[in-house]
Amino acid sequence: MAAQALTTTLDRLRKTGIVNLIGLALLALVGIWLVVNFAKDPTEFINVALIGLTNGTIYGLVALGYTLIYGILQLINFAHGDVFALSGLVAWSLIVSVLGLDKDSSVPVIIGGMLLTLVVIMVLFSIVNAGIEFVAYRRLRRAPRLAALITAVGMSFIIQNVSLAFYGVNFHSVPSFIPRTEAIGIGDVTYSWNKLSALLITIPVLILLSWFVRSTKQGKAMRAVSQDTEASAMMGINVNRTISVAFALAGALAGAAGIVYLLQFNMRYDTGFELGLIAFTAAVLGGIGNLTGAVLGALIIGFIQAFNEGLLWFTPGSDWTRTIVFGILILILVFRPEGILGEQTPEGA
């Protein structure tokens, strides 16, 4: 009853425009804070923003996986973050134990090894994710949404424990074979090779995904199924195959994100829990179900995190990053539940 009363009150406030005014006031305060920080030290501001760009692209790869599945099944696949973590750990095994790449390896060997790792991990985890859909979710499509949601949480714990069983509780990292020296430098603004490598992997993957969804026959089938499953089936679209392809794409994105994350940070079995929640917040912020919105939301979250941890004037610091990110999620649900690029629906209006 209390939740219903709160919802009713918020709806009334939205109609009067008060909620919009509060939201604009909050955005204005953030804008002033950014302008002052930029004026105090423009070079540091830009360097921190570049870090946010790198982190945001990683979040974007994971957020796209959430939004792909939600767009078709209206399912929040909480296991997605753990698939991302497991993919990074398997990539670590391939890089370190199988290929033996290290900082003494030649440039052609490093490039070839990373391309091979990227292809193997993306293919492997597209199969894994499609298998998860077949085993855990397919029989629950006509069940109440709560059943699928609980199953997703259960799959998250299963995958996390698989990672724990094989890789233990220790963090894993790859050798610094990609130099952290300057790749691009303009004055005191620098961008290192290891961060540039993240963009060189992420941007082509995002372009290929966009092309696949918008231009291919299977991509058009995915968009049709997301609009109306029953009508799509009547028009001859294989719904089961289309949903499996969406899960496979999401798994491939998680695999690519796992490699990119591994090149920047350490990873262990529970890394996917926090990063998955951040990516889910990014998907909601941009408008869950909207591919462009997921990337936009991820970039915004990446910038916010970097600015909070890297700027000096009136910043709460890294201890508050989680609070700020999930505070943003709550604010979005209050002020604009459909997200930045989302559209209001009869259910959410």
Model pLDDT, residue 343: 55
Residues 6+ positions from 321 with CB-CB distance below 8 Å: 305, 308, 309
CATH number at residue 198: 1.10.3470
For the chain, what is the domain count? 1
The answer to whether residue 72 sits within a structural domain is: yes
How many helices, marked H, and strands, marked E, lie in the chain? Answer: 13, 2
Rounded Cα–Cα distance for residues 123 and 271 (Å): 21
pLDDT at 347: 41
Q: Tell me the C-alpha to C-alpha distance, in Å, between residue 70 and each of 17, 37, 239, 288, 308.
A: 30, 37, 15, 7, 30
pLDDT at residue 346 in the model: 39
Q: 3 lies in a domain?
A: no
pLDDT of residue 322: 78
| pTM assigned to the model | 0.82
- Please check whether residue 29 lies inside any domain of the structure: no
Q: CB neighbours of 345 closer than 8 A, spacing ≥ 6?
A: 338
The reply to whether 262 falls in a domain is: yes
Residue 153 lies in a domain: yes
On whether residue 346 sits in a domain, the answer given is no
> Given this model, what pLDDT does residue 4 score?
56
Q: Which residues of the chain have pLDDT under 50?
A: 344-349
Q: Which pLDDT belongs to residue 85?
A: 92
DSSP-derived secondary structure for 191-249: EEHHHHHHHHHHHHHHHHHHHHHHHSHHHHHHHHHHH-HHHHHHTT--HHHHHHHHHHH
Q: Of 26, 2, 56, whose CA–CA distance to 202 is shortest?
A: 56
Question: Which domain range does residue 102 map to?
Answer: 38-335
Q: What is the pLDDT of residues 84-137, one digit of tens each?
A: 999 999 999 998 888 887 777 787 888 888 889 889 999 999 999 999 988 888
Domain-located, residue 116: yes
> Are the C-beta atoms of residues 26 and 331 closer than 8 Å to each other?
yes
Q: What single-letter DSSP state applies at residue 172?
A: B
Residue 211 lies in a domain: yes
